[in-house]
Amino acid sequence: MEGLRLGFKHVCSIFGMGNYKNKFHMRTLNSSLTEMLFMAGQAERKFVAVDPAKCTGCSLCEYVCVLEKNEPLWNPLRSRIRVIRLTPAFNLALTCRFCENASCVRACSRNALIQSEEGFILVDEAKCDRCGWCIQACPYGGISLHPDKPSVLVCDLCKNNPEGPQCIQFCPEEALELVREDDAVTKKWVLAMEKIPSNIEKLTNLVKRREWSALFEEAEDRAKRLSEKLEAINKKWGYRLKQG
């Protein structure tokens, strides 16, 4: 907390924001009130999490997010969920976890981020200057810069869609789900990481023995599931895809 206070002091001196202590205390109070709302049960924390053991890194979740949010171009850089490919056998999808007393909100020097009673991180684009402090403060990689606007991108669980998060609905491997606990996600990640050596060894042995049929069979199964989701996407957003 002391480091954060000093950071605010430095930023306030740069932008001439005057008495930083009052602003800091007010922001701390607002964050505390939000935390109380969480604890009182007025907002039930849920977030989208990935099972790396299932994720293939296909990026369909990114494209679905862009379509759902009606972004002007079909570009994964406009997605609120980001796919990270670490090894051939380990992939992740990162998005906002709606932390209690969110560090991104506390780190914003321009009051551009506000946490709603439901826990969503709301962005005031008129105040955001893309400084990136919120990105540095987020421990989960859940915030990213918008490629075209002076703003940042944060997941809101498709709150205006009664069907819920579309990335979950359209994931061909069912690797995404709504969860409530960070520990459950961490356990899945650790288990998947522990299996990386054996998975790579298995793949290597199949290639060495030229057992292509096993590889082709798995690839065909994945391609079939992906094709089914692509057809569903075209049915729902086909008019957008034609627009480019």
Q: Mean pLDDT score of the chain, rounded to an integer?
A: 84
* pLDDT of residue 15 exceeding 60: no
Distance, C-alpha 34 to centroid of its chain: 21
pLDDT given for residue 57 in this prediction: 95
The amino acid occupying position 65 is C
pLDDT given for residue 71 in this prediction: 84
Mean pLDDT for the stretch of residues 58-87: 92
What pLDDT band is residue 5 in, cutting at 50, 70 and 90? very low
pLDDT given for residue 243 in this prediction: 64
- Write the pLDDT tens digit of every residue in 19-59: 434 444 444 434 443 444 344 443 578 999 999 999 999 99
pLDDT given for residue 25 in this prediction: 43
pLDDT given for residue 167 in this prediction: 98
* pLDDT of residue 12 exceeding 70: no
Q: Which domains occur in the chain, in start order?
A: 43-95+155-243 (3.30.70)
pLDDT given for residue 40 in this prediction: 41
Angle formed by the axes of helices 212-243 and 60-68, nearest 10°: 10
Task: Write down the pTM of the prediction.
Answer: 0.77
Q: Which of 187, 167, 194 is nearest to 94 (CA)?
A: 167
pLDDT given for residue 241 in this prediction: 66
Q: How far apart are CA 126 and CA 138, in angstroms?
A: 21
- Write the pLDDT tens digit of every residue in 196-223: 999 889 989 999 999 899 889 999 999 9
Q: Are 177 and 51 in contact (CB under 8 A)?
A: yes
In sequence order, what E strands does the chain have? 47-50, 82-87, 90-94, 113-115, 121-123, 143-145, 152-154, 176-179
* pLDDT of residue 90 exceeding 70: yes
* pLDDT of residue 111 exceeding 70: yes
